[in-house]
Amino acid sequence: MTSGQRLKGGGVGRVYLDNNATTALDPRVVHAMQDFFLDAYGNPASRDHAFGWDAAEAVECARGEVAALVNATPHEITFTGSATESINCALKGLAPALSAEGRIVTCVTEHAAVLETSRQISRFRGVPLVMWPVDRTGHIDVAAAAEAVRSVPPGVIAIMAANNEIGTIHSLGAFARIAQESAAVFFSDLTQVVGRIPVDVRADGIDLAAFSAHKLHGPKGVGALYIRAGRGITLEPLIVGGSEERGLRAGTPNVPGIVGFGEACRIARMEMKDEAVRIGRLRDRLESALLADLPDIWVNGDPVNRLPNTTNIGFAGIDGRALIRDMHEIAVSTRSACSSSDERPSHVLKAVGLSDDDARACVRISFGRFNDENEVDYAIDKVRCSVRRLRRNTR
């Protein structure tokens, strides 16, 4: 099933190439969730009857699937409402300890969820905030970073696994080592990698991590917070009330959503390896066709170490938003969905050294499970025609 079929009921019409913003639910995920809306609607915290026991069992089964996908143990996973909530839980939960001990160190190209949470902690708690720069490909200079923490030890280092706009993949192990050597907590935003490329929180030395179901063909409104066991990390809960999620996230959990998250993780664990290759081919097919046919275009980010499903292409002399409007059947974006109403050029593209005009000339195209070659060829044609038309009109 292609994204065009899902939207139009057959054939290529509208094509969804914005899978870094969110993904379509996999029908197998919908199937797994259905019972938990209509029949097994118990509250997992209800210990007195079978409805509660069934819901609790389903939640624990899903927790096992989510943990397995990132090589964690089930009790290291806490369910939340989104990756944004998990990021807030992790960083704000650490903040009381940080005020006394150290600063927050992060990177200029992080998602707004990390940047704004860090800024808020810094504003309200007086915790110093340090932002590491990146080079043209979106990478942090690891040697400079190691040197910087030697003189001023951090309390927490927050580095994303892969950038949501340009796809650059950071070498998390290197930052985990820097954190370890300076006795800092290492947090990573895994939102764009879980279910797309292999993730091993243990091998990468991650202490805290956040991700969500809707980026891997699971439902919206459910996220996960990973807290490494045995490191003595205690978080001050963001949401208090009952003892759900071991008191870390009070409130009746979203059982159908959690079941869907578990199923999405199970499917990703089975299919991710082959899917990454197939999706990478789709991305390369589009990129090479456009680079061959259109002059004055470029690809942002690291050409090698990047997400297989992501490309970010600049079209000189064109406004990315005008291009998106012109080829309205093709759903792509200029940046992350939550900042897409921002008129300023992308902070990620500015950070990799683009001028305002060049940053505004870029479009992010991100592929997913339901895209196929027909859709990609259709998109290539649309982009080509729109770019030529817009360039003709501005001459």
Footprint of ligand PLP (CB under 6 A): 82-84, 111, 113, 160, 164, 189, 191-192, 212, 223, 336-337
- The tokens for 365 are 């195209």
Six-digit token string for 112: 């707004």
**Residue closest to 3 by CA, chosen among 279, 337, 191, 223:** 279
Write out the two tokens for 130: 């340090």
337 phi and psi, to 5 degrees? -55, -40
CA distance 43 to 59: 10
Q: How far is the CB of 86 from ligand PLP (least distance, A)?
A: 8
Among residues 276, 321, 296, 263, the alpha carbon closest in space to that of 162 is found at 276
Order across the sheet with 362-366: list the strands: 297-299, 310-315, 362-366
**Residue 66 parent element (H or E):** helix 50-69
In 3D, which of 374, 382, 373, 290 has the Cα closest to residue 328?
382
Is 18 or 54 the residue whose CB approaches ligand PLP more closely?
18
Task: Give, in order, the Cα–Cα distances in Å from 108 to each of 140, 154, 217, 342.
Answer: 9, 16, 28, 17
Catalytic residue positions, numbered: 338
Cβ closer to ligand PLP: 23 or 386? 23
Under 8 Å between Cβ of 270 and 285 = no
DSSP tag of 214: G
- Residue 191 vs 312, nearer CB to ligand PLP: 191
> How many whole angstroms separate alpha carbon 220 and alpha carbon 84?
12
The nearest distance, CB 215 to ligand PLP, in angstroms, is 7
Q: d(Cα 86, Cα 210) in Å, to the nearest integer?
A: 5
Q: Residue 335 and residue 328: Cα distance in Å, rounded?
A: 16
Residues in the chain: 395
CA 341 distance to own-chain centroid = 19
Q: Given the complex with ligand PLP, which of 187 and 378 has the nearer CB atom?
A: 187
CB nearer ligand PLP, residue 40 or residue 131: 131
Q: Which is nearer to ligand PLP, 168 or 336 (CB)?
A: 336
> Nearest Cα to 297, choosing from 312, 319, 311, 316?
316
Nearer to ligand PLP by Cβ, of 17 and 113: the residue is: 113
